[in-house]
Amino acid sequence: MAAGTPTATFAARQREILQEMGIELWVRRDRAADEPADAGKPDATALAWGPLRDAVRTCTRCVLHRTRTQTVFGVGNESARWMIVGEAPGGEEDRQGEPFVGPAGQLLNEMLRAVGLERSDVFIANILKCRPPENRDPKLEEISACADHLAAQMRLVSPKLILAVGRIAAQTLLQQMVPVGRLRGRAHAYGPGGIPLVVTYHPAYLLRSPGEKRKAWDDLRLARSLVDPLS
């Protein structure tokens, strides 16, 4: 079955699992009593690039807008065959407004070059458009608040392949609470159109665990076998 955007059932199951693990959950409060709403604004999934960028730049759907320096929309070829989806901006990304900069970004660039791609050939985005404080894992509410921004980007890019980079991206897109090691190594189908989706390790993880780079190379070769990067 093709995966799609996170469902209420999946989110509920995630909450149960995380509660069992003793992980703090963010509980949404009444928006009217808490923070500005996006009520009345057009559905982000229906927007063109310009309005979508504006919608992301001014987004206040979750508490992360209070601590960000700026949103991190995404970067690259807006008609790319490959779309790279990561987790969330880090400190440097928050300062520069671009995903995957710094050491992890440099390694990602090298990984792409290994299969004949430059950074400008692909479109790179994250599950979240704002940095979580202290680079903590995204909360379920934050993922949900950002979901249609990413869905709109996918609609506009219309990629032939999605490369999910790291645990959060893979589990969110595939709606499976499964470790990356069990999700990688095979092709998945994403969305109603069954877009090929390949899971690999996050470059930040590879910098800490260089012994896993061979597996990441295998993932990239799998991705290339599914769809040529440029043709």
pLDDT band at residue 25 under the 50/70/90 scheme:
very low
Domain span including residue 162: 8-226
Query: Which residues are CB-neighbours of 197 under 8 A, at least 6 positions away?
Result: 3, 161, 162, 163, 164, 173, 174, 187, 188, 189, 190
pTM of the shown model:
0.82
Residue 64 lies in a domain: yes
Model confidence pLDDT, tens digit, residues 36-75: 444 445 577 778 999 999 999 999 999 999 999 999 999 9
Per-residue CA distances from 208 to 107, 119, 159, 203, 204 (Å): 12, 22, 30, 9, 7
Q: What proportion of the chain, given as a percentage, has pLDDT over 70?
A: 81
User: How many structural domains does the chain have?
Assistant: 1
Sign of CA dihedral 210, 130, 141, 123: negative
Q: In the structure encoding, which two tokens stand for residue 142, read together?
A: 């934050």
- 217 lies in a domain? yes
> Is 1 inside a domain boundary?
no
Count of residues for the chain? 231
- The CA distances from residue 110 to 41, 106, 152, 206, 209, in Å, are 40, 6, 28, 12, 16
Residue 218 lies in a domain: yes
CATH number, domain containing residue 187: 3.40.470.10
pLDDT in tens, 114-152: 999 999 999 999 999 999 999 999 999 999 999 999 999
Strand partners, 195: 190
- Whether residue 192 lies inside any domain: the answer is yes
The per-residue b/e assignment along 209-229, b for 16 or more CB within 10 angstroms, e otherwise, is eeebbebbeebbebbbeebeb
Structural domain includes residue 2: no
Q: Is residue 17 part of a domain?
A: yes
Range in 15-29, 86-100, 133-147, 184-198 with the lowest mean pLDDT: 15-29
